[in-house]
């Protein structure tokens, strides 16, 4: 922004003085051009080599029959894409990914909101609550998976033991195709909700206290204040959290791969796992790259939709 | 400490009296809130507690069909000793540590440099560069695993630490966050240095960087947490046992140990420990980092 101000001043025609200034600035701007690109160069090198190039090369790969065993490198056009569109396995994994995204985003936003609303009330032992809600976020997916595989254990697990104690039937958490995805959602909720919770808490504490003072003078109670002041003020935060959450959930792989390996019967296998398996277990790199691009397309569509919605809201 | 940091802004905006009042009053609503908050906290701590109890059990007690919080044969560090004896946990921890540190350092250096150029220097193509970097935020890393793997194969980097490190140093979101912070530093601070003929690099090192410590710390911590916990890319780019990072290594012993529940939990806890320690040291920066920048561990 400041850059445009500077150049606008420089381009103003007029007295000799300003022409002199122009000459000085153009010398300066030459030096600036050099230093600008010099400062950007290290990042740019990595950016081009490890991000831009893989994107271009990946697209090229998706148009070939390339395989890990080194066979067919030749271009085959969009054959991989038409095969993928007819591939029930890909559609199923995309469906699983979308299903996970839908059913995980709702609790990951609502529970975070509840946690933040509670801690925004200046409760005693705040730090303890905050630490326990947030600490799981620091764990590696492998650790989370170990914890939950152990607790979900059908015979020895803590959760089934609890269910039995309160007279409920045992559940085959990770082995029942109808339950497995929900089991993953619960583990994911426990693992990552703390991040959204901190975003919400920070946003709540930025709401000016005068709003609440005025409301309580008008006789509005706690619930009323929450729904008429807190929630509306949080709208931008909510939009951001939902956006980040959807994009994060679409990328789901780690905890599913480690807890169910995509089973039982492919009922939890997400699209990232399908990409991984067709590429590294099935050795079909070209085909795998094509599925990556279909998935990428999906993410771009979601991002653009989110962008449009946010723009309309703020306009 | 962190408690006060987070609540302080709220107290500044209103009169202290009004905010203090509800703290003393124990209304039904507040009691209910404490109960609900405590209930969630207990739920959230149970996995840690259960893992810890299991890790200190004998294997026999751990796999007993009767659940016990206090094991019949008492607590023991047997599982931890076993993990240390035949596991590679110290090696994997070291691998995670130096790859994450390298990723963090490179990320910080290259991101801060480009962010400074985007914030302060006028040069042709800057707008385009900025647009491309922002647009690249939406690229999901899993989309790149196939071409990246092939690229690493071609560069002969597979089964070296470089394969783990290099692709993880590009964080467009971090560049953006740093740029926004640099934008807020008043330009007047640099003017005196410019008069003295100081170079851009000198200005950057002696004026901008020292003023940017909080944001640099936040970016460093989040890059480190992200790198430390990353699974998919290190999992794909290394097969060499001696190079595995902690998350990938744990995945391999999980299957090797089979039903050794106490050992599984002991290794999980050992793997969790370093970051918990990091958090206890840096909790203020972590919480502030999340609240001011909304950084995700990308």
| Each residue's pLDDT tens digit, B225-250 | 899 999 999 999 988 888 999 999 98
Which of B50, B117, B276 shows the shortest C-beta gap to A36?
Answer: B117
Q: Which residues of A touch B251 (CB under 8 A)?
A: 142, 258
* Weakest-pLDDT range from A101-105, A298-302, B190-194: B190-194
Q: Which of residues 174-233 of A touch B (CB under 8 A)?
A: 190, 195, 198-199, 201-202, 205-206, 208-210, 212-213, 222
pLDDT band per the 50, 70, 90 thresholds, residue A314: low
A91 to chain B nearest CA, in Å? 17
- With an 8 Å Cβ cutoff, is B294 touching chain A? yes
Quick one: average pLDDT of B70-83? Answer: 87
Examine the pLDDT at A67 and tell me if it is beyond 90. no
pLDDT score, position B170: 95
On the question of pLDDT at A211 being above 90, the answer is: no
pLDDT band at B15 (very low <50, low <70, confident <90, very high): very low
pLDDT reported for residue B13: 42
Cβ atoms < 10 Å from Cβ of A48: 12
**B116-120: long-range contacts at Cβ-Cβ below 8 A with a sequence spacing of 24 or more?**
B116/A39, B116/B182, B116/B204, B116/B208, B117/A35, B117/A36, B117/A37, B117/A39, B117/A40, B118/A40, B118/B175, B118/B179, B119/B179, B119/B182, B119/B183, B120/B182, B120/B187, B120/B190, B120/B208
Q: Which residues contact B30 (CB under 8 A, 6 or more apart)?
A: A121, A123, B22
ipTM of predicted assembly, 2 dp: 0.84
**Per-residue confidence at B257, pLDDT binned at 50, 70, 90?**
low
Residue with the bigger pLDDT between A276 and A27: it is A276
Q: Is the pLDDT of residue A133 over 70?
A: yes
Mutation target to probe the B interface, by most B beta carbons within 10 A, among A7, A60, A108, A140 is A140
For A156, which of B65, B124, B275 is closest by C-beta distance?
Answer: B65
Cβ-nearest to B150 among A55, A61, A209: A61
How far CA B247 is from CA of B25, B78, B244, in Å, comes to: 47, 22, 8
Asked if pLDDT for residue A93 goes beyond 50, the answer is yes
**CB-based contact, B89 to chain A, within 8 Å:** no
Predicted local confidence at residue A64, as pLDDT: 85
Report chain B residues whose CB lies below 8 A from the CB of A115.
Answer: 37, 40
The sign of the dihedral angle between the CA atoms of B266, B271, B277, B282 is negative
Has residue A18 got a pLDDT over 50? no
Distances from the Cα of B291 to the Cαs of A166, A247, B2, B8, in angstroms?
A: 40, 19, 12, 13
Residue B280 confidence (pLDDT) = 82
Residues 6+ apart with CB under 8 A from B201: none
Q: Which residues of A touch B136 (CB under 8 A)?
A: 47, 51
Please give the C-alpha separations between residue A170 and each of A158, A173, A176, B24, B51, in angstroms, as whole numbers. 11, 9, 11, 45, 21
Least confident window among A47-61, A81-95, A142-156, B81-95: B81-95
- When CB atoms are compared, the residue of B46, B121, B136 closest to A51 is B136
User: What pLDDT, in 10s, does the model give residues A110-128?
Assistant: 999 999 999 998 888 888 9
In chain A, whose CA is at the least distance from the CA of B29?
A222
With a CB-CB cutoff of 8 Å, which residues 31-70 of chain A face chain B?
A: 32-37, 39-40, 42-44, 46-47, 49-51, 53-55, 57-58, 61, 66
Query: Residues of A with CB below 8 A from B129's CB?
Result: 40, 44
B32-65 pLDDT tens trace: 999 999 999 999 999 999 999 999 998 888 887 7
Checking if the pLDDT of B21 tops 90, the result is no
* 8 Å CB contact of B271 and A142: yes
pLDDT-derived band of residue A146, with 50, 70 and 90 as boundaries?
Answer: very high
Q: Is the pLDDT of residue A14 over 80?
A: no
Q: Which of B24, B146, B255 to mutate to test the interface with A (most CBs of A within 10 A)?
A: B146
Report how far apart, in Å, the C-alpha atoms of A208 and of each of A204, A215, A219, B15, B29 are.
9, 12, 18, 11, 22
Reported confidence tier of residue B132, pLDDT bands at 50, 70, 90: very high
Question: What is residue A141's three-state secondary structure?
Answer: helix
């Amino acid at each position: 922004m400041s850059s445009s101000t500077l150049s606008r001043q420089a381009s103003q025609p007029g007295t000799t003085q300003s022409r002199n200034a122009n000459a000085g600035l153009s010398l300066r701007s030459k030096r600036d051009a050099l230093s600008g690109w010099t400062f950007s160069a290290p990042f740019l090198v990595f950016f081009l080599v490890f991000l831009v190039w893989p994107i271009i090369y990946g697209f090229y790969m998706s148009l070939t029959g390339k395989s890990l065993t080194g066979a067919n490198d030749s271009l085959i056009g969009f054959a991989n894409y038409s095969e993928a569109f007819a591939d029930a396995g890909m559609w199923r994994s995309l469906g699983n990914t979308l299903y996970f995204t839908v059913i995980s985003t709702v609790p990951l936003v609502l529970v975070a909101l509840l946690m933040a609303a509670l801690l925004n009330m200046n409760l005693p032992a705040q730090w303890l609550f905050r630490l326990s809600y947030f600490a799981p976020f620091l764990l590696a997916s492998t650790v989370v998976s170990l914890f939950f595989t152990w607790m979900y254990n059908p015979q020895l697990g803590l959760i089934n033991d609890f269910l039995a104690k309160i007279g409920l039937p045992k559940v085959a958490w990770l082995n029942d195709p109808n339950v497995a995805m929900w089991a993953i959602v619960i583990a994911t909720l426990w693992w990552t909700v703390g991040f959204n919770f901190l975003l919400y808490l920070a946003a709540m504490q930025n709401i000016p206290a005068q709003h609440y003072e005025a409301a309580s003078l008008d006789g509005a109670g706690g619930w009323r204040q929450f729904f008429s002041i807190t929630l509306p003020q949080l709208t931008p935060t909510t939009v951001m959290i939902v956006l980040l959450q959807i994009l994060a959930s679409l990328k789901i792989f780690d905890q599913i791969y480690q807890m169910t390996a995509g089973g039982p019967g492919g009922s939890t296998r997400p699209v990232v796992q399908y990409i991984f398996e067709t590429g590294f277990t099935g050795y079909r790199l070209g085909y795998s790259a094509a599925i990556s691009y279909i998935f990428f397309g999906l993410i771009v569509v979601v991002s653009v939709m989110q962008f449009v919605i946010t723009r309309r809201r703020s306009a | 400490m962190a408690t006060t940091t987070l609540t302080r802004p709220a107290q500044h905006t209103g009169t202290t009296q009004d905010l203090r009042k509800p703290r003393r009053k124990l209304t039904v609503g507040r009691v209910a809130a404490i109960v609900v908050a405590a209930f969630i906290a207990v739920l959230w701590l149970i996995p840690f507690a259960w893992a810890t109890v299991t890790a200190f059990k004998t294997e026999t007690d751990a796999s007993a069909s009767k659940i016990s919080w206090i094991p019949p044969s008492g607590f023991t560090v047997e599982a931890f000793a076993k993990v240390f004896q035949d596991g590679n946990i110290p090696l994997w921890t070291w691998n995670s540590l130096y790859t994450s540190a390298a990723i963090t350092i490179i990320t910080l250096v290259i991101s801060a440099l480009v962010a400074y150029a985007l914030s302060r220097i006028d040069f042709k193509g800057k707008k385009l560069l900025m647009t491309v970097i922002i647009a690249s935020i939406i690229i999901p890393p899993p989309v790149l695993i196939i071409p990246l793997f092939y690229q690493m194969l071609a560069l002969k980097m597979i089964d070296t630490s470089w394969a783990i490190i290099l692709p993880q140093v590009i964080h467009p979101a971090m560049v953006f966050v740093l740029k926004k912070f640099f934008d807020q530093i008043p330009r007047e601070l640099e003017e005196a240095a410019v008069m003295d003929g100081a170079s851009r690099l000198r200005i950057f090192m002696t004026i901008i960087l020292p003023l940017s410590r909080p944001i640099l710390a936040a970016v460093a911590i989040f890059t480190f947490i992200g790198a430390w916990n990353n699974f998919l890319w290190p999992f794909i780019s290394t097969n060499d046992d001696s190079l595995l990072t902690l998350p990938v290594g744990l995945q391999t012993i999980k299957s090797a140990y089979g039903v050794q529940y106490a050992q599984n939990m002991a290794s999980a806890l050992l793997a969790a420990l370093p970051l918990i320690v990091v958090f206890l040291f840096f909790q203020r920066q972590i919480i502030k980092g999340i609240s001011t920048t909304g950084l995700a561990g990308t």
